[in-house]
Amino acid sequence: QVQLEESGGGLVQAGGSLRLSCVASGRIYSINAMGWHRQAPGKQRELVAAITSGGSTNYADSVKGRFTISRDNAKNTLYLQMNSLKPEDTGVYYCNADIRPLGGSIYRNYWGQGTQVTVSS
């Protein structure tokens, strides 16, 4: 029943910006940590940024200073503001979250279907 859905991907030139959003919906009791992962063509999926329920963040070295992760707990929404984009940032970006469903006793890990980000040189 719980779902994550990303939006905001697209095609931008190097140096441009995009803001990704991820909305968690369904029968949700609570959401703990959330994060963004990406997968470039021919490469493994990697953690881009993560944020705890209290707002503490961490970033991959490759995006530090350029990307900002944030969340709106009232809206069950996660954001990733991406500035100064580089061609190396190209890939499918996935939302990830630890969610306790209604009726459940534990947190489970959920993934969105991904949104494509393409940065041209």
Map 34-73 to HEC letters. EEEEEECCCCCCEEEEEECCCCCEEECCCCCCCEEEEEEH
Average pLDDT of span 36-45: 96
CA R_g for the chain: 14
Containing 105, the helix (H) or strand (E) segment is: none
pLDDT above 90 covers a percentage of the chain that reads 98
What's the pLDDT tens digit per position in 63-107?
999 999 999 999 999 999 999 999 999 999 999 999 999 999 999
Q: Is 1 exposed, middle or buried (0-12, 13-18, 19+ CB in 10 A)?
A: exposed
Mean pLDDT of the chain: 97
